[in-house]
Structure 1
Amino acid sequence: MTLQLSGTALELPCIGEGAMAPADIELMLAALRQALTRPRGKLAAPQEAEQITLAAERAVGQSICEAGIGLPQALDLYASLLSQQGVPTDHPGYLAYIGASPTPAAALMDGLLSASGMIGSGWLGGAGLIWAENQALRWLADLAGLPAAAMGCFVSGGTAGNFSALVAARHRYRERGGMGAGLLLVAEGAHSSIIVSARLLDLHVVIVASDDLGRLTATALAHTLSALQVEGRLDEVVAVVAVAGSTNAGHIDDLLGIGQIARQQGIWFHVDAAYGGAFLCVPGVREKFSGIELADSLIIDPHKGLFVPYDCCALLYAKPGAVTAAFTQDASYLEQINESRQCNPMHYAFHLSRRARGVPLWFSLAVHGSAAYRQTLERILELSACLRERITRHPRLQLIQASGLSVILFRREGWQARDYDAWAQGCLSDGIALVVSSSWQGETVMRICIMNTRLDQQRCDELLAGL
């Protein structure tokens, strides 16, 4: 690159100028192929930061330096050391949190998306990518039974999705003349991101009593609204949040009853289906989600149960046209986009710059078909039911009945918190599984979440043997 300044030509080297050497491309492709086809061996806890630093320095010295270390060495450092430090979410023994194994098609498209050079903020910068995202959003909206006009965008995760939905709800509240900070009605088991979002938005949280299974019910909601009416605060309610597949227990709130009350009272109804929404495509459990079609806003995380790479959350609105005013950023350089009638994802959440992170979901669906997704999720529910049955029959274990979908909560007779932690550490040390304890109604219990069809009988036997 030559830059002319005051009559003097300066030669400036540019990062990535020119084509990558064919040999370097082959190295990258080989590493990608190996990552996609790698065997899932025993699990291992990651090393401490100091140990990783020493290993990296022994391999290449200072990795970030004036001259750089070159592609072969940097790639080898990544493949042989850095990518080995941590527990992969696509491992069949990854049972602690909600992880999903991306399809190779989704993973490859994720890389191709990054190489496209297009941005997913507005139609001008990435029309084709946004079209693909909208196809995936329409599929999800139809699964939920949302109106034909329902639309939204993909954001980074459930926290960003919940926050944006509540921004839209608060905007409507204020447009209608709402005074004061406003009230947000949630059950005690609501995801922590709901509480954080309320704090960021200066909304006061009102906890609605849950039933014995941890669910928010229409009866409890009606009771809370009656109490607020007596206090003269009913008009301060901004939104009610229900959960369709709680992270801790997998339970589903009384969506139909809650949604009907919200409609009657003119209250924004938000459904957090970040985890559970994937199971909407399973006919055998679809009835449990009855009422989700009444949502004003809804989130589903494809990176949890729809087999795409992190990070990806679908945020849907029943009436998308009503929310754009809450997010549109006014700037002279954005006027053309803001005035455009095309679909601009930047107008549906708190972001501006964004990658079209929903494209890997569209691509994987296009490649494999929705039937493959349905069959895979049915298999996950079968595996969960099988393990539940084994726990029920175990002489020293007690299944907690609140467990739903592919989440399993159970207690071990005579154990305290330290015993659960010791067992979990042993499972990881032995390379069997990553598991963590949780709590249920104030008691420490064990929690397992199955989101991988490669979980087999042998691993379950090894898991239960330590109990």
Structure 2
Amino acid sequence: MPARQTPLLALDERDRKLAGHLLAEFLDDHERNLPDVARIVPDVDRDVLTGLLQEPFPEQGIGVERLFRKVSDEILPNSTAVAHPRFLAYVQGPPNGIAPYAEAIAAAINQNCNFWQLSPAASVIERSVISWLAGLFRYPGTAGGILTSGGSIATLNALTTALHDRRPDFRRTGLQDARPPLVLYTSKEAHRCVEKAAAILGLGLDNVRQIPTDADYRMRVDALKAAIQADRAAGLEPFCVVATTGTVTSGSIDPVEAIADVCRDERLWLHIDGAYGALFVLSDRKREAFSACARADSIALDPHKLLFAPLEAGCLIVRDSEKLRAAFAVHSSYLTVNDDPLMLDFMNYGPQLSRSFKALKVWAALQTFGTETFRKAIDHTLALAQYLAERIQAEPHLRLIAPVPLTAVCFRINNASDADHTALLATLASEGTALLGPASLNGRKGIRACITNYRTTREDIDLIVNRLAHHARTAEPSLPG
């Protein structure tokens, strides 16, 4: 028999072995070098990036070895070190150790997770992940959901479902009729994805009520009730409340139990934006704080945060999966296959047809490390946040500006201006101490550290606080008194 030719876009045996070796070497070097990265935010080489933007793609390929060299020499040095233990500016943790390998497998088998015939095992894996996540919140057997790109799309899909549930003829009529405008309620501390979703769905930002918060930055239930009553009196139609379990700035947890009572009495859909905080339910010390989430109609959460999956991996869970299906299912004769009770056609539970195998990296990590390891990792971040808060409280030049219910720690330097805080953030980043973020709460500017990084240690916290205290002491004589 003649030798089999290598297909045009496949690697031959030699290049496969070389690519595997170089990839393993890259991942190993990346892991080993993380603690020694001098700059979390790179000193961007603009000439290199300009070259990457402007250089034409080659007519003849550069090959595997030169590709990896290009990645190591040009891309990696100009990338933010998000896995660094002192990357604490955002709610974004490092990927878990098995994730790159799971992603490679998903890319190799390239399952299209829209209808089950294209992805039978993937369909079951995604169902398994969603069932486990729903069980964390004690949802009933009717629950279902779908993995998404993140919490923003999960919230958009949830509000789409709530809209269809309120107006079952929405698919036919849209919002182009004479019925009263629908009104959505959320906290003034809520993530902007709620407003974005309202704008995309045509609800209009004028019909989004930002409810005031209490001293701990939680939605005020009395203000929510008053707003609903005022809108009904004005001839409008309240339809949904979005509560937040872990606001993006301070990590505050809205009083879900009381809000659920309001939604029950007023016949409103209750959605929980738990993109940051919901998966703290895994922690024994925080589980009770999330018990009322069981009453919500839908929950958005992000495995690419506290399950440390690589981007993208969000999730929407809906108490009644048939309502999710009613919002998104569309019959297409060319996609029809026989129903199978073991499988699910996920194209009927969200807006996408073509979908990647996102569930594999979540499933693989839970299989590899076990759920107990994730509980320990989450408890580790909670303990470090409390330690950071204690260190700040012990420093005479620093003060907390919000409670620390989860892992976001917001603070100020005494007598420092807003410009001083901005300048200090830049200094900490440029000297390689840490990447922290700005905070704004009730008009007060400050600094925010959010510990969602299983690599962070007490030594990292000590280094950060010691540098903060040093800068504050050094700058104090020149600061306004």
TM-score (norm. length: structure 1): 0.90
Aligned partner letter, 2:83: D
Name the SS for the 1:184 alignment partner: strand
What are the ranges of 5 or more consecutive residues in structure 2 without an aligned counterpart? 473-481
1:206 aligns with 2:209: yes
**1:43, 1:93 within 8 Å by CA — same for their partners in 2?**
no
**1:437, 1:444 within 8 Å by CA — same for their partners in 2?**
yes
1:166 aligns with 2:159: yes
Name the SS for the 1:284 alignment partner: coil
**2:278, 2:301 within 8 Å by CA — same for their partners in 1?**
yes
> Aligned match of 1:121 in 91, 114, 126?
114
* Counterparts of 2:385 and 2:11, CA distance in 1: 51
**Structure 1 pair 35–130 and aligned structure 2 pair: CA distance change class (3 A):** farther
Report the CA distance between 1:403 and its aligned residue: 3.2
> Aligned match of 2:222 in 219, 222, 225?
219
Name the SS for the 1:391 alignment partner: helix
Which residue pairs with 2:42 in the alignment? 46
* Counterparts of 1:208 and 1:325, CA distance in 2: 30
Which residue pairs with 1:23 in the alignment? 18
Name the SS for the 2:152 alignment partner: helix
Which residue pairs with 1:91 in the alignment? 84
Report the CA distance between 1:36 and its aligned residue: 4.2
Name the SS for the 1:250 alignment partner: coil
**Structure 1 pair 330–372 and aligned structure 2 pair: CA distance change class (3 A):** same
Aligned partner letter, 1:35: H
Aligned partner letter, 2:238: V
**Structure 1 pair 230–54 and aligned structure 2 pair: CA distance change class (3 A):** closer
Deviates more, 1:371-380 or 1:450-459: 450-459
1:1-36 Cα distance to aligned partner (Å, 9 max, x none):
xxxxxxxxxx99732276554333322333233334
1:290-330 Cα distance to aligned partner (Å, 9 max, x none):
31001111111011111111110011000011221221234
Percent identity among equivalent residues?
A: 27
Aligned partner letter, 2:380: R
* Counterparts of 1:244 and 1:140, CA distance in 2: 16
What are the ranges of 5 or more consecutive residues in structure 1 without an aligned counterpart? 1-10
Report the CA distance between 1:395 and its aligned residue: 0.5
Which runs of structure 2 are paired with 1:102-251 in the superposition (5 Å)? 102-175=95-168, 179-203=179-203, 204-233=207-236, 236-251=237-252
Aligned partner letter, 1:218: V
Aligned partner letter, 1:202: G
**1:411, 1:446 within 8 Å by CA — same for their partners in 2?**
yes
Report the CA distance between 1:452 and its aligned residue: 1.9
Report the CA distance between 1:52 and its aligned residue: 2.2
* Counterparts of 1:63 and 1:83, CA distance in 2: 20
Report the CA distance between 1:49 and its aligned residue: 6.5
1:392-431 Cα distance to aligned partner (Å, 9 max, x none):
1110111123432000011111112211111111111111
**2:281, 2:287 within 8 Å by CA — same for their partners in 1?**
yes
**1:260, 1:294 within 8 Å by CA — same for their partners in 2?**
no
Aligned partner letter, 1:141: A
**2:18, 2:65 within 8 Å by CA — same for their partners in 1?**
no
* Counterparts of 2:383 and 2:396, CA distance in 1: 22
**1:56, 1:77 within 8 Å by CA — same for their partners in 2?**
no
**Structure 1 pair 63–76 and aligned structure 2 pair: CA distance change class (3 A):** farther
Aligned partner letter, 1:358: A
Aligned partner letter, 1:206: R
**2:93, 2:454 within 8 Å by CA — same for their partners in 1?**
no
Name the SS for the 1:39 alignment partner: helix
Report the CA distance between 1:127 and its aligned residue: 1.7
1:32 aligns with 2:38: no
Report the CA distance between 1:130 and its aligned residue: 2.2
Report the CA distance between 1:351 and its aligned residue: 1.6
* Counterparts of 1:91 and 1:112, CA distance in 2: 25
1:116-153 Cα distance to aligned partner (Å, 9 max, x none):
12111221111212212222212211111211221111
Deviates more, 1:307-316 or 1:170-179: 170-179
* Counterparts of 2:197 and 2:52, CA distance in 1: 39
Which runs of structure 2 are paired with 1:330-349 in the superposition (5 Å)? 330-336=331-337, 342-349=343-350
Name the SS for the 2:132 alignment partner: helix
Aligned positions, number: 451
Report the CA distance between 1:102 and its aligned residue: 1.8
Report the CA distance between 1:196 and its aligned residue: 0.6
* Counterparts of 1:245 and 1:169, CA distance in 2: 22
1:209-267 Cα distance to aligned partner (Å, 9 max, x none):
2212221143332222222232232xx12211000111111010011111122122221
Which residue pairs with 2:271 in the alignment? 270
TM-score (norm. length: structure 2): 0.88
**1:63, 1:69 within 8 Å by CA — same for their partners in 2?**
no
* Counterparts of 1:113 and 1:181, CA distance in 2: 44
**2:40, 2:87 within 8 Å by CA — same for their partners in 1?**
no
Aligned partner letter, 2:25: A
Which runs of structure 2 are paired with 1:280-429 in the superposition (5 Å)? 280-336=281-337, 342-429=343-430
**Structure 1 pair 271–54 and aligned structure 2 pair: CA distance change class (3 A):** closer
**1:181, 1:202 within 8 Å by CA — same for their partners in 2?**
no
